[in-house]
Amino acid sequence: MKLQKIVNRLQKLHPKEIDLSLDRIKNLCKKLGNPQDKINCIQVCGTNGKGSTISFLRSMLKEANIKCNIYTSPHIKRINERFIYNDEMITDNDLSNLLNEIEQINDGQPLTFFEALTAAFFYGCKKYKENLVIAEFGLFGRGDAVNILKKNLCNIVTSCSEDHLDWLPKNDRTIERIIFEKTSSLLNSNIIVAKQNSEKITECIKKNISNNNANKYYFNENYNFVSKENNFFYYEDKYGGLKIPRPNLNGQFQLENASTAIATLRILDDIKIEDHHIINGIQKASNTARLEEIKSGKLKDLVNNNTLILDSSHNPGGAKVLNDYLQTLDCNKHIIIGMMANKDHEKYISYFKDISSLTTVDIPNQPNSISGKILKEKFKKTNNVQYKESIEQAIKSIPLKKNDILIITGSLYLSGEFLNLN
């Protein structure tokens, strides 16, 4: 209750949920002693794959006994998920105390909620100042509150695609503008560019960072992997090759994320990562609601022995990799989907092929979500579409046969709702 009261107060400090400028966060961090200037940070940007890439980084570093502070957003179930210190999620009491201190030092000045959280994370790093920091920045990097560092260890650019277009001018909602926003302000240490959905996107990134004098590493030029039989993949860069068992995370795209994480740690001379740290870490990585198989719980019981997958993909790029994975499965696929209102709904669903049924649902307690009824109308060109008010009703309505698979997708917020109900 104490934590929620502080959160409620911080959410009222600015009329907008998002305001893409950096003056407020810089002013507050100056009052805090500029804690962001005293960290060793790996920054991660992109549209898709940030969370999984960070999970692989964290798992490998843990194997090497290198402690981490990690900042990601948004959360799925609890706001505490955004604050990892010393490899542990912050407690309610510690987070309450941290946010309370930020609130007092800010002294009522205008501040978005995300800016307050970001300043709080950097300030909290002071207690674990020897730890490596991994920080995700999203939406459009130039104006993201995380993007106020003056130095870092490296920048990772994960897969870039179209998302959050409503924040761009109507006449400039292009992948080129998205890449400009995400990469034009990257620091000049090291830049690792992951596999992209097309050569056009890779070339656009190259062009955009051509004047940045950072050391640059590109997938398929400076590092690569090959998927092999017998459930392993082969990674290779200038330091040599590694035969690695496939991770427990589902999907071919996770090999891309794993390879990017490996490439990052191998180029950083001050981080002592050995082959066995990489091999063991890749196998142990986990990531909530990213092609996650749900094996127990109240909602899982409703599908009996059928496979239940939870995936939080919410943009066309995410839909593509989810469908690529589903196409490897020889079974009937049923999808339950809820989405936020500002997404490209028709383009998202266009990537799915050979779907046996599609059920739209509402996302409770999310005023920025789209009604499941309206979403059903947007999907009317897709065969066998129905609407149900809740996830539970949707699951009960689907006549699953032996070996059928059920996928719940479309939003991080829907994933959070599912996990809380389950």
Query: Is a pLDDT exceeding 90 seen at residue 153?
Result: yes
Task: Evaluate whether 31 touches 106 at the Cβ level (below 8 Å).
Answer: yes
Integer Cα distance of 341 and 209 in angstroms: 32
Query: Is a pLDDT exceeding 80 seen at residue 338?
Result: yes
pLDDT of the residue at 140 = 59
Task: Evaluate whether 194 touches 205 at the Cβ level (below 8 Å).
Answer: no
Average pLDDT, the chain: 93
Integer Cα distance of 409 and 68 in angstroms: 30
pLDDT of the residue at 31 = 97
Mean pLDDT across the stretch 1-14?
90
Query: Is a pLDDT exceeding 70 seen at residue 44?
Result: yes
**Residues, the chain:** 422
Query: Is a pLDDT exceeding 70 seen at residue 227?
Result: yes
Burial class (CB in 10 A: 0-12, 13-18, 19+), 201: buried
Higher-scoring residue by pLDDT: 10, 170: 10
Confidence band of 162 (pLDDT split at 50, 70, 90): confident
What is the CATH T-level fold of the domain 292-421, as seen in this structure?
Protein-Tyrosine Phosphatase; Chain A (3.90.190)
pLDDT digits (tens, 9 = 90+) for 262-307: 999 999 998 999 999 999 999 999 999 999 999 999 999 999 999 9
pLDDT of the residue at 1 = 72
pLDDT digits (tens, 9 = 90+) for 46-88: 988 999 999 999 999 999 999 999 999 989 999 999 999 999 9
Mean pLDDT across the stretch 326-353?
93
Confidence band of 167 (pLDDT split at 50, 70, 90): low
pLDDT of the residue at 382 = 82
Mean pLDDT across the stretch 134-161?
87
Query: Is a pLDDT exceeding 90 seen at residue 128?
Result: yes
Query: Is a pLDDT exceeding 80 seen at residue 220?
Result: yes
Question: Could you give the count of Cα atoms lying within 13 Å of 328 in the half-sphere of its Cβ?
Answer: 9
Provide the token pair at 42. Answer: 């790996």
Q: What is 2-284's CATH number, 3.40.980.10, 3.40.50.2000, 3.40.1190.10, 3.50.50.60?
A: 3.40.1190.10
Confidence band of 120 (pLDDT split at 50, 70, 90): very high
Integer Cα distance of 197 and 348 in angstroms: 15
Kindly report, as residue ranges, where domains of CATH 3.40.1190.10 are found in the chain.
2-284
Integer Cα distance of 254 and 389 in angstroms: 32
pLDDT of the residue at 137 = 87
pLDDT of the residue at 165 = 59
Mean pLDDT across the stretch 138-146?
72
pLDDT of the residue at 168 = 65
Query: Is a pLDDT exceeding 80 seen at residue 14?
Result: yes
Confidence band of 230 (pLDDT split at 50, 70, 90): confident
Integer Cα distance of 225 and 100 in angstroms: 46
Kindly report, as residue ranges, where domains of CATH 3.90.190.20 are found in the chain.
292-421
Query: Is a pLDDT exceeding 80 seen at residue 420?
Result: yes
Query: Is a pLDDT exceeding 60 seen at residue 141?
Result: no
pLDDT digits (tens, 9 = 90+) for 359-377: 999 999 898 899 999 999 9
Higher-scoring residue by pLDDT: 140, 145: 145
Give the CA radius of gyration of the chain.
Answer: 21
Query: Is a pLDDT exceeding 70 seen at residue 164?
Result: no
Q: What is the 3-state secondary structure (H, E, C) of the chain?
A: CHHHHHHHHHCCCCCCCCCCCCHHHHHHHHHCCCHHHHCEEEEEECCECHHHHHHHHHHHHHHCCCCEEEECCCCCCCHHHHEEECCEECCHHHHHHHHHHHHHHHCCCCCCHHHHHHHHHHHHHHHHCCCEEEEECCCCHHHCCCCCCCCCCEEEECECCCCCHHHCCHHHCCHHHHHHHHHCCCCCCEEEECCCCCHHHHHHHHHHCCCCCCEEEEECCCEEEEEECCCEEEEEECCEEEEEECCCCCCCHHHHHHHHHHHHHHHCCCCCCCHHHHHHHHHHCCCCCCCEECCCCHHHHCCCCCEEEECCCCCHHHHHHHHHHHCCCCCCEEEEECCECCCCHHHHHHCCCCCCEEEECCCCCCCCECCHHHHHHHCCCCCCEEECCCHHHHHHHCCCCCCCEEEEECCHHHHHHHHHHC
Query: Is a pLDDT exceeding 90 seen at residue 169?
Result: no
